Structures are given as structure tokens and as C-alpha cells.
């Protein structure tokens, strides 16, 4: 299946022309993002938790401490909603009403299960680590049995999703185009800056190439 079925749950109602349901578009946004927000409700009280995520096929991995209320909620089989937003620019219209942002966003729905088997858990942690920085898993020390036991990993089956995307210049009212007010887009991007080595880094250890490439933009 290349698209998520359009249902009442995942349909984009406000400006539906911006909605997209194909997995290629949705997963590209999921994979580019470094953080997501997970929404869930406990006894009628809603919570939204920012956390690291990583996708593996139609599965989304989340992880954290065993005491995590979010992970316990998922482990009990309750549904959650995951949102991701990439901000691409500030849209400055001639009117306040039509000022906006260019963005790519995704809303995901699903239920999850705890990853119990050690090999599967290590695979999930590898995917999560390489989502943080591709290539890091091979460099870093792997979890000890104690660390592995202290970490809960859940696999969220992506059952429903949609993307909402805005691109392009402002959309002003026709009569406002004659106003002597600057209008346009201020593009934005997330940029890697110069590395800041750990003050306790041993002398003579160079930064790995995959980090240097991120800084240089290669």
C-alpha cells in the first residue's frame, strides 16, 4: 500500500488542498525530523511529550526510561497521536490575516507494543541512534545488559497518517496587492554549526567524518 486510506480520523479539514496521504511524502517528513511530539490522555487529562523517534518501514520506534508514563500508556495498548513539523519559512503577507508560515507537517495515529527481545531491542536502538546522526551506532559504545534492561522501547504501528504542507508566496486579498507594504517569504532552515568538543575529550581524537560532513554541508 502506497497511501494511507483517507478516513475521518486522518482527513485534513482546514485547507484540504494542502493534505497529502501518500507514504513517500509522509515518511520523507518523518525521516527528516529529529524530534516528534506524542499526544495521549490518561484519565481524561491530555499530555504531549517531545521525544526522539525513528522510522523502520511502517513502524515508529520510541524509547525512554521504564518509568515513562508515555511508554507505559503505549505498552498497555492505548492509541497515541504523533505530530511532526518542519518549518521552512515565514510568510509575510500584506495583511495580518493572511500572514502565515511555509511548513511540512505530519500527523500519525497508531497503537504500539513493547519490544521485549534483546536482539530486536538493540536493532531498534540502532535505528534510533542513527536517526540522531547517521553512522553513530558503529562509533559509540553499545548498551550494557543493565542499560538495556533500564530502557523501554516501543514499536508503534503506523495505521493512519496524513501530511499537510504549505509552500509559496503570500495569498493576499486582491485589493491588498496595491498596498505599499513589503510582502514575501523569509526562508528558514535548520543548520549544523561548528562542533563543540566535550571539555573532557581526550587529546588526539578527531571528529568523525560523518559529523564533519554535516558541518561542511557535504
Residue 85: give its domain's CATH number. Answer: 2.30.110.10
Asked whether residue 38 is assigned to any structural domain, the reply reads yes
Give the confidence band of 67 by pLDDT, cuts at 50, 70, 90.
confident
Asked whether residue 175 is assigned to any structural domain, the reply reads no
Average pLDDT, the chain: 95
Number of domains in the chain: 1
Q: What is the mean pLDDT of residues 77-82?
A: 94
Give the confidence band of 93 by pLDDT, cuts at 50, 70, 90.
very high
Asked if 174 and 117 touch (Cβ cutoff 8 Å), the reply is: no
Asked whether residue 143 is assigned to any structural domain, the reply reads yes
Asked if 218 and 192 touch (Cβ cutoff 8 Å), the reply is: no
Q: What is the pLDDT of residue 142?
A: 96
Q: What is the pLDDT of residue 66?
A: 86
Tell whether the model's pLDDT for residue 209 goes beyond 90: yes
Tell whether the model's pLDDT for residue 138 goes beyond 90: yes
Q: How far apart (Å, rounded) are the C-alpha atoms in residues 137 and 132?
A: 10
Q: What is the pLDDT of residue 176?
A: 97
Give the confidence band of 215 by pLDDT, cuts at 50, 70, 90.
confident
Give the confidence band of 168 by pLDDT, cuts at 50, 70, 90.
very high
Q: What is the pLDDT of residue 170?
A: 97
Asked whether residue 6 is assigned to any structural domain, the reply reads no
Asked whether residue 197 is assigned to any structural domain, the reply reads no
Q: What is the pLDDT of residue 73?
A: 93
Q: What is the mean pLDDT of residues 44-56?
A: 96
Q: Which three cell numbers stand for residue 104?
A: 511540512
Q: What is the pLDDT of residue 173?
A: 97
Asked whether residue 200 is assigned to any structural domain, the reply reads no
Tell whether the model's pLDDT for residue 92 goes beyond 80: yes
Asked if 181 and 173 touch (Cβ cutoff 8 Å), the reply is: no
Tell whether the model's pLDDT for residue 217 goes beyond 80: no
Q: How far apart (Å, rounded) are the C-alpha atoms in residues 10 and 78?
A: 18
Q: What is the mean pLDDT of residues 87-101?
A: 98
**Which of 157, 51, 167, 56 has the alpha carbon at shortest distance from 108?**
157
Asked if 65 and 150 touch (Cβ cutoff 8 Å), the reply is: yes
Domain hosting 107: range is 16-170
Tell whether the model's pLDDT for residue 140 goes beyond 90: yes
Asked whether residue 215 is assigned to any structural domain, the reply reads no
Q: What is the mean pLDDT of residues 98-125?
A: 96
Q: What is the pLDDT of residue 198?
A: 96
Tell whether the model's pLDDT for residue 187 goes beyond 90: yes
**Residue corresponding to grid cell 522510522:** 55
Q: Which three cell numbers stand for residue 83?
A: 505530530
Asked whether residue 151 is assigned to any structural domain, the reply reads yes
pLDDT more than 90, % of the chain: 90
Amino acid at each position: 500500500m502506497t497511501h494511507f486510506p483517507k478516513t475521518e480520523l486522518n482527513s485534513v479539514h482546514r485547507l484540504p488542498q494542502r493534505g497529502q496521504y501518500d507514504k513517500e511524502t509522509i515518511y520523507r517528513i518523518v525521516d527528516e525530523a529529529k524530534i516528534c511530539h506524542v499526544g495521549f490522555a490518561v484519565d481524561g487529562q491530555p499530555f504531549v511529550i517531545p521525544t526522539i523517534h525513528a522510522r523502520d518501514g511502517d513502524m515508529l520506534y520510541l524509547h525512554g526510561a521504564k518509568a515513562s508514563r508515555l511508554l507505559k500508556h503505549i505498552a498497555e495498548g492505548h492509541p497515541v497521536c504523533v505530530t511532526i513539523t518542519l518549518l521552512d519559512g515565514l510568510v509575510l503577507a500584506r495583511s495580518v490575516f493572511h500572514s502565515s508560515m511555509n511548513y511540512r507537517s505530519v500527523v500519525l495515529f497508531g497503537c504500539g507494543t513493547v519490544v521485549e527481545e534483546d536482539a530486536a531491542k538493540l536493532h531498534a536502538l540502532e535505528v534510533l541512534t542513527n536517526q540522531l546522526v547517521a553512522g553513530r551506532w558503529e562509533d559509540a559504545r553499545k548498551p550494557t545488559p543493565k542499560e538495556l534492561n533500564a530502557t523501554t522501547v516501543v514499536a508503534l504501528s503506523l495505521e493512519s497518517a496524513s501530511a499537510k504542507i504549505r509552500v509559496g508566496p503570500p495569498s493576499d486579498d486582491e485589493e491588498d496587492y496595491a498596498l505599499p507594504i513589503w510582502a514575501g517569504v523569509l526562508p528558514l532552515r535548520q543548520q549544523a554549526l561548528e562542533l563543540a568538543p566535550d571539555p573532557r575529550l581526550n587529546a588526539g581524537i578527531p571528529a568523525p567524518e560523518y559529523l564533519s560532513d554535516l558541518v561542511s554541508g557535504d
